[in-house]
A and B are shown apart, each in its own frame.
Chain A
């Protein structure tokens, strides 16, 4: 076997070369694809090596952080939480479907209003106590209580009653919801002894590592828990997370090899950092998206032709290349991408078409400039993006005036208050939760003022529908409606950009959340030299 091929397969395994490039180069060397593929599988599926101390330098930690899962909002407590705590269900990195963790299996009733979750047996908490169905029920009760301060309350609002039946936890819902398993993947819902009712910030969970050091805003350390129940995660001996809110500090720590993994690499530094020896950039398309939103009920945006004109007058590809330097994927004016389960394939991609835009604009009868508000806090590069949008729209004869707003108060004075502005959305676990949060009549944050009864009915029907193909059809209708009638201009889904040292192996590309769905620490292993 050629040395070059072997070298190339290791390059793929360490993430320096894509699979497709590898096969291309193998073909150039005269190697048949099946053989090359099997070679690759061998290299990529190298056995995880156990041991070593993993260090991560992450932004998103403050001296105000707590170990109580209900309070987690930023990356450091979230990532640290996944080392010592576990949820019932996790979302698959491949297709976004629910996969069992502490719940072994689940079963809905016919109308999806009652769900029975079988709780895994033989799992222990770090204090030695056995994890029971009662602990699970108490945890979900704590997060779904009306008076809770838990950030997970929103997704659990439909739960009416939680009861325990042997090893089974039974959830009764106010309305049928086919997505309950996915809602339980929320990272706040870490199962704690007695649900954390006694001591919410004790840091006792069932995860592969137990809390060793907790210095909020400085560093967190967890070490291997001997009684952990499975061996396909938790390869390193200990995990240390060092709070590094300064972007340059993270990059130099990674370059000098003092940390193995960093998060939030800025798009403009990716090019430089990827040339550094021993460093690999991990970019993965996310569900998060950057948007321009119009109020469908406010003049002049209450005119469907004007909305269409604006949707056609934005050059999405140029925006991705110039504002995010290519680290994003194309949006199509509905808030769902391939990372969601039941993504509606094959909806035509909307493209930049100044002629069509001019046609719609003239038909709308609108005259004069259109005011677009933006701010640096709306999303990274939002001011540049707005100016670029204005320039692109001028080719269609549309005069967009960009007004830069102060970051302070943008989320109270401008977003969800002014009729046309820049904004962003993070992803949600399911299509239903995305649409229910921002697009149905009466949603908490319907920031495009999109009130369409037909659309609401589609979402409600899909929510309780257990037949997957029917459900997929409904979500296609929903997406088409938002795309064509809504007030959403969605040029791009931003990538999660993390970086790791070459010796970090087993990184799982996971679009559900940054740093490999917050689980990089328990998924990777360290290649010993």
Chain B
């Protein structure tokens, strides 16, 4: 049972590292917004600023305190779930973000639910028919869709499926109480755009990782045993290639959450990205900080999961020398 003990220890180490990294990121975010030119108070009041009003607002925002004090009071707030209030409308950030985050995760979930199995399946097929026409076609199409910028893919999808064919709505406004089926219809095009963007990366990685394993001696054994090509790939090659695949899948999942700003704006999808853009243009620093931190947490969290999965899947990492 020493095996499980050391796994738990390793996982605990990874989590601790992740938390440390997140702390470092929080310092960076805070410093980044700190060195923006001009102070928040004067950018809120703008033209109408009188010295008295500026001073009142600075005191209200706590800007008269030294930066280090403000950092720790911000961090303390974040740790207790209090993200502060938005400067532009004095609303609680945490409660404003919650539905937006849910929307972003909803879109990311369905994009992932389509793209991950599809990518792995395509990867398997490409390996099965490696270097043949099928392999080349799959790789070519996937690479082409990845090399196109996402806004271009988005506009092409809108033009074909919304404007010309009228199959799907061209914009993806979703709201509370929207029937599930309508909601799915609304997100069809943005989910498709995201799928096309992340597909090739995962597919190529799956293909490469499995091909790598296919060179091993035990695959030859399996072949000699008389297993079918597809069974060999599925039962022997894939499990051993899982670590790098999980890694790249997590990386792409992270992109689905934090990288969707452009897609959300094009498709008018009320997620985190739009929320961030609205507030960046108003220089609403607390909101930008909060969103930045959430994005960082998602990114680090997903990578953590990838690491842990890799540890569990790989005996060599489980028993480090």
Contact of B171 among A57, A64, A66 (CB under 8 A): A57
Given A252-B162, A256-B170, A257-B166, CB of A63 within 8 Å of CB of B268: no
Residues A218 and B171 in contact, CB atoms below 8 Å apart = no
Closest chain A residue to B169, Cβ basis = A258
Residues A66 and B89 in contact, CB atoms below 8 Å apart = yes
Contact of A253 among B47, B170, B279 (CB under 8 A): B170
Contact of B278 among A63, A215, A253 (CB under 8 A): A63
> In the complex, which residues 147-172 of chain A have their Cβ closer than 8 Å to any Cβ of chain B?
none
**A422 proximity list for chain B (CB < 8 A):** none
Closest chain B residue to A213, Cβ basis = B175
Residues A249 and B163 in contact, CB atoms below 8 Å apart = no
Q: Chain B 137-173 against A: per-residue CB contact (8 Å), 1 yes, 0 no?
A: 0000000000000000001001100110010011101
Given A244-B171, A252-B158, CB of A64 within 8 Å of CB of B282: yes
Q: Give the total of A residues in contact with B, Cβ under 8 Å.
A: 25
Given A249-B266, A252-B170, A253-B170, CB of A219 within 8 Å of CB of B162: no
Q: Is B57 an interface residue (CB 8 A)?
A: no
Contact of B159 among A66, A213, A242, A252 (CB under 8 A): A252
Return B264 CB to nearest CB of chain A, in Å: 10
Taken together as a complex, chains A and B put the C-alpha atoms of A242 and B186 apart, in Å, by: 14
Residues A246 and B170 in contact, CB atoms below 8 Å apart = no
Return A244 CB to nearest CB of chain B, in Å: 5
Residues B173 and A219 in contact, CB atoms below 8 Å apart = yes
**B162 proximity list for chain A (CB < 8 A):** 252, 256, 258
Contact of A218 among B86, B169, B173, B266 (CB under 8 A): B173
Q: Is B299 an interface residue (CB 8 A)?
A: no
Residues B96 and A63 in contact, CB atoms below 8 Å apart = yes
Q: Is A195 an interface residue (CB 8 A)?
A: no
Residues A63 and B275 in contact, CB atoms below 8 Å apart = yes
Q: Is A35 an interface residue (CB 8 A)?
A: no
**A62 proximity list for chain B (CB < 8 A):** 278, 282
Q: Is A129 an interface residue (CB 8 A)?
A: no
**A411 proximity list for chain B (CB < 8 A):** 46-47
**A57 proximity list for chain B (CB < 8 A):** 171
Closest chain B residue to A242, Cβ basis = B173
Residues A218 and B163 in contact, CB atoms below 8 Å apart = no
Residues A412 and B171 in contact, CB atoms below 8 Å apart = no
Q: Is A387 an interface residue (CB 8 A)?
A: no
Residues A215 and B171 in contact, CB atoms below 8 Å apart = no
Q: Is A480 an interface residue (CB 8 A)?
A: no
> In the complex, which residues 43-63 of chain B have their Cβ closer than 8 Å to any Cβ of chain A?
46-47
Residues B266 and A248 in contact, CB atoms below 8 Å apart = yes
Q: Is A208 an interface residue (CB 8 A)?
A: no
Q: Is A217 an interface residue (CB 8 A)?
A: yes
Closest chain A residue to B284, Cβ basis = A64
Contact of A249 among B46, B175, B268 (CB under 8 A): B268
Q: Is B267 an interface residue (CB 8 A)?
A: yes
**B158 proximity list for chain A (CB < 8 A):** 248-249, 252
Q: Is A437 an interface residue (CB 8 A)?
A: no
Residues B171 and A242 in contact, CB atoms below 8 Å apart = yes
Q: Give the total of B residues in contact with A, Cβ under 8 Å.
A: 28
Q: Is A97 an interface residue (CB 8 A)?
A: no
Residues A215 and B175 in contact, CB atoms below 8 Å apart = yes
Q: Is B26 an interface residue (CB 8 A)?
A: no
> In the complex, which residues 264-292 of chain B have their Cβ closer than 8 Å to any Cβ of chain A?
265-268, 270, 274-275, 278-279, 282
Q: Is A401 an interface residue (CB 8 A)?
A: no
**B96 proximity list for chain A (CB < 8 A):** 63
Closest chain B residue to A257, Cβ basis = B166
Given A57-B171, A258-B171, CB of A64 within 8 Å of CB of B163: no
Contact of B265 among A63, A217, A246 (CB under 8 A): A246
Taken together as a complex, chains A and B put the C-alpha atoms of A411 and B46 apart, in Å, by: 9
**B173 proximity list for chain A (CB < 8 A):** 218-219, 242-243
Taken together as a complex, chains A and B put the C-alpha atoms of A257 and B278 apart, in Å, by: 27
Q: Is A446 an interface residue (CB 8 A)?
A: no
Residues B278 and A248 in contact, CB atoms below 8 Å apart = no
Residues A242 and B170 in contact, CB atoms below 8 Å apart = no
**B73 proximity list for chain A (CB < 8 A):** none
Residues A412 and B46 in contact, CB atoms below 8 Å apart = yes
**B279 proximity list for chain A (CB < 8 A):** 63-64
**B267 proximity list for chain A (CB < 8 A):** 249
Residues A244 and B163 in contact, CB atoms below 8 Å apart = no
**B169 proximity list for chain A (CB < 8 A):** 253, 256, 258
Return B178 CB to nearest CB of chain A, in Å: 10
Q: Is A255 an interface residue (CB 8 A)?
A: yes
Taken together as a complex, chains A and B put the C-alpha atoms of A213 and B282 apart, in Å, by: 25
Residues A243 and B170 in contact, CB atoms below 8 Å apart = no
**B47 proximity list for chain A (CB < 8 A):** 411-412
Q: Is B88 an interface residue (CB 8 A)?
A: yes
Taken together as a complex, chains A and B put the C-alpha atoms of A257 and B46 apart, in Å, by: 41
> In the complex, which residues 28-63 of chain A have their Cβ closer than 8 Å to any Cβ of chain B?
57, 62-63
Taken together as a complex, chains A and B put the C-alpha atoms of A243 and B278 apart, in Å, by: 12
Q: Which of B88, B155, B162, B176 has the most CB of A within 10 A?
A: B162
> In the complex, which residues 181-203 of chain B have their Cβ closer than 8 Å to any Cβ of chain A?
none
Return A120 CB to nearest CB of chain B, in Å: 34
Given A64-B89, A213-B175, A244-B268, CB of A249 within 8 Å of CB of B170: yes
Taken together as a complex, chains A and B put the C-alpha atoms of A264 and B155 apart, in Å, by: 19
Residues A258 and B170 in contact, CB atoms below 8 Å apart = yes
Taken together as a complex, chains A and B put the C-alpha atoms of A246 and B265 apart, in Å, by: 7
Return A291 CB to nearest CB of chain B, in Å: 18
Residues A248 and B171 in contact, CB atoms below 8 Å apart = no
Contact of B166 among A66, A219, A256 (CB under 8 A): A256
Inter-chain pairs besides A63-B89, A64-B279, A248-B158, 15 sampled, C-beta below 8 Å: A62-B278, A64-B89, A64-B282, A213-B175, A217-B270, A217-B274, A242-B268, A244-B268, A249-B268, A252-B170, A252-B171, A255-B163, A256-B170, A257-B166, A258-B170
Q: Which residues of B contact A (CB under 8 A)?
A: 46-47, 86, 88-89, 96, 155, 158-159, 162-163, 166, 169-171, 173, 175-176, 265-268, 270, 274-275, 278-279, 282
Could you give 19 example pairs across A and B, Cβ below 8 Å? A63-B89, A63-B96, A63-B278, A64-B86, A64-B89, A217-B275, A217-B278, A218-B173, A218-B270, A243-B268, A246-B268, A248-B266, A249-B171, A249-B266, A252-B170, A252-B171, A255-B170, A258-B162, A412-B47
Q: Which residues of A contact B (CB under 8 A)?
A: 57, 62-64, 66, 213, 215, 217-219, 242-246, 248-249, 252-253, 255-258, 411-412
9 cross-chain pairs, A with B, having the tightest CB-CB distances, nearest first: A64-B89, A252-B170, A218-B270, A64-B88, A256-B163, A256-B162, A62-B278, A255-B163, A252-B158
